[in-house]
Amino acid sequence: MSAVQLLLVPLALWLLQASLCHGACVEVDSDTDAVVREGFKLGCISCKMRGEVPAEATVEWSFMPKGESEFTKIYSYEDLMSEIPDERFYERLDWNGSKKTRDLQDGSIYILNVTWNDTGTYRCIFNRTLTFTSYGFHTDVTKIVHLNVVPMTRGIASILSEVMMYVTIVGLQVWLVVEMIYCYRKISAQGEEALRESALNNGSKRRIALDSPSTLHPFFQTSIMTPSHYPIQEEQPRGLSREQMDDK
């Protein structure tokens, strides 16, 4: 066996496994408790017993309100088209089953904006035709869903998380206000200190300028003279006149 054939064998096995997984179908029962004013999925799954046989199927849903005894057709899906004949569910039902195929295996629908009047029994009917080489085989599968509408309730975890969210928001706002007040006071104190230092420096410079003679007007400089600046006068003897002094 060549190397190419060795590589093709695992690839073929992988493709075969993928095709089998793709065609897998599991029937799961629908939920039965719907919350008022919310959406709800009515599940209805009917798997083919022979996955390799081509088939076509249609789905029909009926509803019997609580306290009544007859079903009323509310929804049908056939040839990729849906129909809602009941006015109570008009624009409130949406297809949530198999997409883009006539070989339906999932016939689930979705109820929008559940109301208290939606409480009751729902019936899903699969009409399937298996196409063999020489004939077609028809089967009908019926599934029942008892729907109970419950009020909207909030869990403790949801309430606590919302309370913590509000507490966190308020705490952050308080912290921001405190930080703004602290910064404002700090900046204000620094400004006052700078003004005080500037005033002290200007006062010191002014006193130094007044105490320095070199900075005075020449008129004031002559009036403020030290004793060394005055002329020395010769002392005259007592009792002698100017003429006598000259004769000497």
Q: What is the pLDDT of residue 210?
A: 60
- Evaluate whether 74 touches 61 at the Cβ level (below 8 Å): yes
Q: What is the pLDDT of residue 76?
A: 96
Q: What is the pLDDT of residue 212?
A: 59
Name the nearest CA neighbour of 32 among 22, 42, 23: 42
pTM of model > 0.75 = no
Which residue would you say has higher pLDDT here, 88 or 248? 88
> Which of the four pLDDT bands, split at 50, 70 and 90, describes residue 202?
confident
Mean pLDDT for the stretch of residues 220-245: 53
**Under 8 Å CB-to-CB from 89, ≥6 apart: which residues?**
63, 74, 75, 111
Q: How many residues does the chain have?
A: 248
Q: What is the pLDDT of residue 246?
A: 55
State the Cα–Cα distance between residues 154 and 161, nearest whole angstrom: 11
Mean pLDDT for the stretch of residues 93-118: 94
Rg (the chain; Cα; Å) = 53
The most confident of 65-74, 194-203, 210-219, 239-248, by mean pLDDT: 65-74
Q: What is the pLDDT of residue 157?
A: 74
Task: State the DSSP string of 142-197.
Answer: EEEEEEEEE-----HHHHHHHHHHHHHHHHHHHHHHHHHHHHHHHHHHHHHHHHHH
In percent, how much of the chain has pLDDT > 70? 71
Q: What backbone torsions phi and psi does residue 208 show, to the nearest 5 degrees?
A: -65, -40
Q: What is the pLDDT of residue 18?
A: 40
pLDDT value at 134 more than 80: yes
